[in-house]
Structure 1
Amino acid sequence: MVFSVAIAGASGYAGGELLRLLAAHPEFEVRTVTAHANAGELLTTVQPHLRSYAGMVLQPTTAEVLRGHDIVFLALPHGKSGAIADELGEASLVVDCGADHRLTSADAWTQFYKSEYHGSWPYGLPELVLSEGAKQRENLVGVNRIAVPGCNVTAVSLGLAPGLQAGVIQPADLVAVLAVGPSGAGKTLRTDLLASELLGSAHAYGVGGVHRHVPEIIQNLTGASGERVSVSFTPVLVPMARGILATSTARLQPGVSAADVRSAWELAYADEPFVQLLPEGSFPKVSDTIGANTALIGLAVDEAAERVVAITALDNLVKGTAGAAIQSTNIALGLPEQTGLTVNGVAP
């Protein structure tokens, strides 16, 4: 069976990456692409690298245009997908690549996003371990709504959740510092995203617990731990077009050995094709993940500081967004999870 697909926000980075990956998906057929300011233009005018879609025209982003497809991917700015999703009805599987349906707390949404809350949807991070021993993929089977995680959130959650679920690290005093590429901010025209500002420099943003991904990280890690966690999260913008390198650390529980730590992560990801724990002493580079739906994790124990250090690398536009969306959609529809996705990156 071939499923018809519409992509709202096809002119952006996330929409473009969805299109690139879906071109290789044997069960999904992209029939409609939409945009706001670029409506009426050829898709290849704004996404010139997507040659297999030559001739497709960007339509206006309205519920009327999006209805009637088996799958609708919403690759829209935060705060824009909730209202249009409310108009789509239940006939389609709707996958929100924005933030509008990620948070289970209305209060957290209001505090960090300061806009209307549209409720929470099943969360599209299949490999996330839960405190009771299950994984999030079990909550995606047969659903018709999916909320794709934030890219930074994915890196931190995959890096720390196994240790919390296994009880080898403490839920308080979790720290994550991330090097991130500017494509995570979309195609927004901002001074701090200009090449002249980025090249040869690096700067932190969203410092002091104010970044919008903080409540989502807490939500995920609390779900893995079974008790409330505290997290200090600091992203740092660096001059690479795409990718995330997350350094996440946590205090060891008393009496826990380095072997216990490694065993927890090995158990969590032993059978996961898209989340891979590297051999002891090896740590990933962002370049190892570009173009692939993989998160690579290197693990160490700092004996002197009594902390675990998890280094997670991923492509923010693939495993961080579009790849996660397709992977979760495959699960929801009962397709093999790896359909249309690759673990192989692009080098150099």
Structure 2
Amino acid sequence: MKYSVAVAGASGYAGGELLRLLADHPEFEIRTVTGHSNAGKPLIASQPHLRSLAHLTLQETTPEVLDGHDVVFFALPHGASGALTAQLTNVRLAVDCGADHRLTSEADWAAFYGGDYNEAWTYGVPELIVAGEPGVGGGQSPARQREALAGATRIAAPGCNASTVALSLAPGIAAGVIEPADIVTVLAVGPSGAGKAAHTHLLGAELMGTANPYAVGGTHRHIPEIQQALRGAGAPETPTLSFTPVLVPMSRGILATSTARIVPGTSAADVRAAWENAYADETFVHVLPEGVFPRTADTVGANTCLMGVAIDEAAGRVVIVAAVDNLAKGTAGAAIQSANIALGIPEATGLSVNGVAP
């Protein structure tokens, strides 16, 4: 029998992407979709591209509606899912695509989000390196977050920017070839990451023909999530991270360019090997050949993170350029990949490495 699934926040961008991927998943059956302001309306009125789900009607987002399903995916605004998840009594697996259960530090939550703090759930980035296990730094494959996901009942899917940057930098941290201080990352991001709610700065007329920086100067909410992941990868102290996102006129996608100081005395070959070894056996994270760098267009609709690595010997820094689809690998794909692992389903089930072109 298939696992029964409910998606809360099904009328938004993240909810729509979850449904698109779940619709073709052989082990999941979408039974319930909810959307607060659109309750009572056909799902297809909000998600007209999901023709195979035209029979579904949006319901109210309440614990009573969601309880009793095998799996519930939450695609709600930050701060909205915590109160609901606390009231679930009969759900085998809950996966939150919002921020409510990502941070282990209550102080970080208060500083970057505010409001009630909810306990951290198992973090949903399967490929993320986890330090402190045999083999880390010793030339063998280090432990991965997927080991913690096996059998999990509560999962916090990552922030799209956060997971892209964490995956970019964790190999160097774990291998001890980059320093955790003076990390700089600049991201070109599509506005779909901000959700579907109407905001003037996200209108097409405001975005076309321009690039708009935001959350400049260390204020972006994904910073503590990145630092948390890099500490987990073995950073001996909280990394110093300068993080600047820039909205660009593409509907979906992230191109993250991250640089970090190379530990003195480390060869260029050893630096590159840290990334190649880290992801050599991964299905969804690919390090491109030397001199090749990714485009966001090549990840659209795919559950892939494509990564190029360069060594700037004059500056003594490594440069990592990573591309993802923020709605796929950055959010919904990561959530489903993590759910597969938790339920003992083959990890790649229902997910593709193939993008859409042109």
Instruction: Tell me by how many angstroms 1:99 deviates.
Output: 0.3
Instruction: Specify which of 180, 183, 188 is matched with residue 179 of structure 1.
Output: 188
The CA RMSD measured in Å over matched residues stands at 0.7
TM-aligned CA deviation for residue 90 of structure 1: 5.4
TM-score (norm 2): 0.96
* TM-fit CA distance, 1:225: 2.5
* Residue 244 (str. 1) matches residue 239 (str. 2): no
Aligned counterpart, 2:96: 96
Paired residue secondary structure (2:124): coil
Secondary structure of the residue that 1:176 maps to in structure 2?
strand
Match of 1:44 in 2: 44
Query: What is the CA distance between 1:92 and its match in structure 2?
Result: 2.5
Structure 2: distance between partners of 1:130 and 1:258: 24
Q: Aligned with 2:38: secondary structure? A: coil
What is the CA distance between 1:302 and its match in structure 2?
A: 0.3
3-state SS in 1 of match to 2:310: strand
User: What corresponds to 2:27 in structure 1?
Assistant: 27
What corresponds to 1:224 in structure 2?
A: 233
Given candidates 312, 327, 338, the residue that maps to 2:348 is 338
Counterpart of 2:200 (choices 178, 191, 213) is: 191
CA distance in 2, matches of 1:297, 1:90: 40
Moved more, 90-99 or 315-324: 90-99
- The answer for the alignment partner of 1:2 in structure 2 is 2
Corresponding residue of 1:165 = 174
* CA distance in 2 between partners of 1:213 and 1:227 (Å): 20
Bigger shift: residues 255-264 or 324-333: 255-264
Partner of 1:325: 335
Q: Give the Cα–Cα distance (whole angstroms) in 1 for the partners of residues 289 and 77 of structure 2.
A: 38
Amino acid paired to 2:119: G
Deviations 1:255-287 (A, max 9, x none): 111110111111110110000000000000000
Alignment of structure 1 residues 288-307 onto 2, 5 Å: 288-307=298-317
The answer for unaligned runs of 5 or more in structure 2 is 133-141
SS in 2 for 1:31: strand
**Number of equivalent positions:** 348
After TM superposition, the structure 1 stretch with the greater mean CA deviation from structure 2, 216-225 or 33-42, is 216-225
For the pair 1:309 / 2:326, whether they are aligned, the reply is no
Contact 1:90 1:144 in 2 (8 A): no
Gap regions ≥5 residues in structure 1 = none
Q: Which amino acid aligns with 1:316?
A: N
2:21, 2:351 within 8 Å by CA — same for their partners in 1? yes
Q: TM-score with structure 1 length normalisation?
A: 0.99
Spell out, residue by residue over 1:214-251, the C-alpha distance to the aligned partner (whole angstroms, 9 max, x if none).
11011011111231211110000000000000000000
Secondary structure of the residue aligned to 2:78 is coil
Deviation above 2 Å: which 4+ runs of structure 1? 89-92
Question: Which residue is equivalent to 1:120?
Answer: 120
Residue 13 of structure 1: CA displacement?
0.3
